[in-house]
Amino acid sequence: MSNVENKTQHTQHAFLVAWGWFAEYIGLLQRLQSLDLKQKHYHHTPQTKVMEFLVSILGGSKHLQDISLAAHPLDKDQAVAEAWGQPEWADYSGVSRTLSRLSWEEARQIAQILDEISQEMIDAELQLLCSQGQRIRLDGDLTGIPVSNTSQTYPNATFGHMDDEIRLGYQAAVVSLESPSYTRLWLSGTHHPGDTVSCTQAEALILAAEARTGLRPLRRTDLLRQRIQAGEQQLAETKKRREIQEQTLQQAKDRLADAEKLDQERQAELANQEKTYQERQRKERPTSRLAQARKRSQAAARHLKSRQKAWKEAQKRLEKTTAHWKGQMDNLETLYQRLKRFEQENATNSQPVEADFRLDAGFGTYENVALSIEMGYEVYTKPHGNQAMAFLKKQVNDQTVWTRGGANAELVAWPDLLLKKCPYPLDVALERFYTGKTLKYSALFHFGADRVIQDLPGWFKKYNGRQIIEAGIKESKQVFYLQHIKVRSEPAIYLQECFVLFAANFIRWASHWLADQSLPAKNALDIRKLGVKRQVQVAAHISAQVIWNSEGRLLKFSKQSAFAGLTLKVAYDPKSGLQKEKF
């Protein structure tokens, strides 16, 4: 609306109106309206219904039918529709039909628009971090999206670990950026089947973050070359051992052949003696020729059995060594290709950054730790499985001095510890803590420039700072109801995941913009004091008058609302639209 006449409307969803103004400002309305969706248009365009789906998620709708069947239905709120550039909203059933017919190409087209809209704000935040000399801090995780275990209507849903249970559903791999302005921003989300496990996704999370930020640290090619050299030496040793085992196997085969020949001869001799004794009707005596032949045949059989066992053991050893040798060759080929790629990436990285990547124990395999190190990150994680922790517990005793790391945690640490199966030395800590009366243990891994051994409380705090992504996942489920899948089409399920992550970022950006655009007044609402949860669960469902005029746009909250007596006014130029100051 570039030409706005004086107009007053009533809404039951005040902040959904305000967010529509922000959506107009950042160009989201125009971009979504220009979508090429190959669906029939009756009373409402498919673009309108896609936008309505996003607005319902911003409003924290648990179920799609809440659009029409809630106490204050969204599809009856004309002020919200107009704020989002629509003549009116569709019934939830129409939204459902449009979503069910979305193709993967169309869903990815919508997701691409969200990414492009988000990129400017993400780039600005990255620029702020760099200007402040701060390290980029990234967190990755895998979160389950379960459905009913007996359901047969969710396409490609599979059973996997979700919330410490085996559940049917999907997994979303997510990466967040720790933000000085917004606390947390989602960078990426990837849709996966429910049986996807964390340890297979570490590299994909890192690459997704780099694709979104356009930034990466210098790869540690020097360490990778050393790893390759060590691998080549191990391969040479394995090859030599394999050659010796091949010779041993050949000797075992030759001896087995001799034993088989001797066994056959002894059996033939015994058969002849038995025939002779039978024809002459002679009795077998302990020292007779027949008894001696029987003993020689039995000895030959035992000898054959021994040679067979030796041959099988030699063959088994060779097969094991051969498999190990082939695995080493495959691993070296992977490292060769990685080195080639990393050298090319370093050559084209004109602005390398320093960055932390924090991952939980599900990602902390030794190979993932090594890869993260080689990709240039300051690595903070926990070990996958219990072997490392069991080893560390054997290194402490009653005389060990523990350092308080948190309110309920104590730590003891070792610098540059070279663990079996890990190619690089790590800073390693063992932590112990009580849950009730139960003493539990955990372990921490670190690699990088931070002097964590000299500051164990700082190390503990920094790793546990990844609770920021866990809080984000909790927000996505408890505020935006990610786990309440509102559709049965997999492209639409993917779109719901994208909309939830975008909504969490969008509201944070909108809060700053609305605060900056608000005109000063004694009774002005202080948006900066409202968290995302309160904005979604309260402000997005609060009644207000919406006043449009040539001076601006005003939300005047009703006397029966939680914001009674307060207003929110956004500056507006009827010739150029909402004020376009740099966001």
Per-residue pLDDT, averaged over 424-432, amounts to 96
pLDDT per residue over 129-167, tens digit each? 999 999 999 999 999 999 999 988 899 999 999 988 999
User: Does residue 576 have a pLDDT over 70?
Assistant: no
Measured CA to CA, the distance from residue 430 to residue 394 in angstroms comes to 11
* Half-sphere exposure (Cβ direction) of 182: Cα atoms closer than 13 Å: 24
> Residues 6 or more apart from 61 whose CB is under 8 A from it?
67, 70, 74, 481, 486
> Residues 6 or more apart from 286 whose CB is under 8 A from it?
none
Counting Cβ atoms within 10 Å, is residue 422 exposed (0-12), middle (13-18) or buried (19+)?
buried
User: Does residue 549 have a pLDDT over 90?
Assistant: no
Token digits of residue 478 = 């408890």
**Sign of dihedral through CA atoms 344, 346, 347, 352?**
positive
Give the residues across from 571 on adjacent strands: 552
First to last CA, the chain: 21
Measured CA to CA, the distance from residue 513 to residue 120 in angstroms comes to 14
Highest mean pLDDT among 151-155, 357-361, 486-490, 559-563 belongs to: 357-361
* Sequence-ordered alpha helix ranges (H) in 348-398: 366-374, 387-393
pLDDT per residue over 352-411, tens digit each? 999 999 999 999 999 999 999 999 999 999 999 899 999 999 999 989 999 999 888 999
Token digits of residue 411 = 């730590």
C-alpha dihedral, 236 to 239 to 241 to 246, nearest 10°? -160
User: Does residue 575 have a pLDDT over 70?
Assistant: no
Count of residues in the chain: 583
Q: Are strands 426-435 and 567-573 parallel, antiparallel or unpaired?
A: unpaired
Helix (H) or strand (E) holding 276: helix 221-280
DSSP conformation class of 282: P
Q: Measured between alpha carbons, how far is residue 435 from residues 79, 292, 384 in Å?
A: 51, 75, 21
CB 196 within 8 A of CB 220: no
**0.75 surpassed by pTM:** yes
> Residues 6 or more apart from 236 whose CB is under 8 A from it?
none
Would you state the pLDDT for residue 573? 56
Per-residue pLDDT, averaged over 58-73, amounts to 95
Candidates 571, 558, 560, 561; CA nearest to 521 is: 571
C-alpha dihedral, 482 to 486 to 489 to 491, nearest 10°? -40
pLDDT per residue over 86-103, tens digit each? 999 999 999 999 999 999
Candidates 182, 215, 205; CA nearest to 354 is: 215
For the beta sheet containing 567-573, the strands, ordered from the edge strand earlier in sequence to the opposite edge, are 7-11, 544-548, 552-557, 567-573, 577-578
Helix (H) or strand (E) holding 160: strand 158-162
Name the residue with tokens 């939680």. Answer: 562
Name the residue with tokens 């409380």. Answer: 457
CB 189 within 8 A of CB 170: no
CB 9 within 8 A of CB 79: yes
Q: Measured between alpha carbons, how far is residue 476 from residues 127, 388, 470, 566 in Å?
A: 26, 33, 10, 29
Name the residue with tokens 């072997």. Answer: 387
User: Does residue 8 have a pLDDT over 80?
Assistant: yes
CB 469 within 8 A of CB 76: no
- Provide the 10 A C-beta neighbour count for residue 307: 21
Candidates 503, 485, 482; CA nearest to 143 is: 482
Token digits of residue 436 = 């009730």
Indicate the SS3 state at residue 33: helix
Q: Measured between alpha carbons, how far is residue 21 from residues 175, 231, 398, 501, 564 in Å?
A: 28, 59, 64, 20, 22
Q: What amino acid occupies position 575?
A: K
Would you state the pLDDT for residue 5? 61
C-alpha dihedral, 276 to 281 to 285 to 289, nearest 10°? -10
Average pLDDT, the chain: 93
Would you state the pLDDT for residue 337? 97
- Comparing 481-490, 544-553, 574-583, the range with the smallest average pLDDT is 574-583
> Residues 6 or more apart from 41 whose CB is under 8 A from it?
none
